[in-house]
Amino acid sequence: MLMFYENEAEIAAQRDQDERAGPYWDAWNAYVNALYKSGVVLKGDPLMPPAAATTVRLEGGNRLVQDGPVAATKEQLGGYVVIEVPDLDAALSWAARSPSASHGATEVRPVQHLPTQR
């Protein structure tokens, strides 16, 4: 799975300024299109901003609901793509091409299959 993290303040500035929004979205569209055209994508979705999150915890058997993400961070998870590639090097190659790799981070993590999914 490729997980795309971006700096929240920088992303807001890029999306809010017309002269920066075009190149920002163009880079993402080109990257996502390349992923899909290569045939490696199994699933992927962009995520709503962290402010749209709701976090649930159980403490003493009681459900506690918090609006927003678990922790305030400078980087936000913006989306993910599950890919099927032959090895870690191929996954790292795709991760390095993502726009978030140059102004945030792209995390590569193997997907663990549940015993019932084998």
Tell me the per-residue pLDDT of 45-90, one tens digit each, with 9 for 90 and over: 988 887 788 888 888 989 988 887 666 667 788 899 999 999 999 9
In eight-state DSSP terms, residue 72 is -
Tell me the per-residue pLDDT of 24-49, one tens digit each, with 9 for 90 and over: 889 999 999 999 999 999 999 988 88
Average pLDDT over residues 96-101: 93
Residue 87: the pLDDT is: 95
Work out the number of other CB atoms within 10 angstroms of the CB of residue 2. Answer: 25
Q: What is the pTM of this model?
A: 0.80
Residue 97: the pLDDT is: 95
Q: Which residues contact 13 (CB under 8 A, 6 or more apart)?
A: 20
